[in-house]
Amino acid sequence: MGWQVTKATGLQRHHGWAPFVTIQPQYSLVTRDIEREVLPAALDAGLGVLPWGPLGGGFLSGKYHRDAPPPPDSRIAGAADDLEEAWARRATERNWAIVDAVQRVAEETGHSMAQVAINWLLTRPGVTAPILGARTLQQLQDNLGAAGWRLEPAHVSALEVPSRLEPEYPARYLAGADRFA
């Protein structure tokens, strides 16, 4: 939570403790929740952001398909239902729409889906570097191909439309407050 980042950095400054320099939240096209409070708090505190799970537990890698169970040797197949990478949490209509967008952008740019998803993360304010969770040399080499190029603004937009966060209260309420003026 953003308030915890703010409280921790405030206590650190107040007591003169060694400064915090980074946070490690989960962050990807399928898990953008930190944009509500955690990322703004980190930016305000001058913290770097080293996100883990940039491929949503492999969900954005291209190996998962709608209406098919996950491959038995995959990280998601072995994830218990209460874990972030559980199939029930990942295989939602919203996330399939995100996978479709990543696939379209990958085809248009000539990059892999993993490279597109990681490159998008590199465009986010405050992100210092993603923590890659490659399990094989081939995955690592593919992931590293996300560096050295930039998505076009139209591609960033195409990825952000299906992955955008729905407004929550009170932001949802405040956004429409001008109708009462």
Is residue 132 domain-resident?
yes
49: in domain = yes
Q: Which pair of tokens denotes residue 168?
A: 């929550």
Domain with residue 150: its CATH number is 3.20.20.100
Q: How far apart are CA 146 and CA 140, in angstroms?
A: 10
Domains contained in the chain, number: 1
137-147, pLDDT tens digit by residue? 999 999 999 99
pLDDT of residue 180: 64
Tokens representing residue 139 in the block? 């995955």
Low-confidence spans in the chain with pLDDT less than 70: 177-181
The closest of 59, 23, 55 to 41, measured between CA atoms, is: 23
Tell me the pLDDT tens digit for each residue of 10-39: 999 999 999 999 999 999 999 999 999 999
Give me the domain span that covers residue 104: 2-6+20-180
Considering the domain boundaries, does residue 159 fall inside one?
yes
From residue 139, alpha-carbon distances to 120, 134, 143 in Å are: 18, 5, 6
Whether residue 11 lies inside any domain: the answer is: no
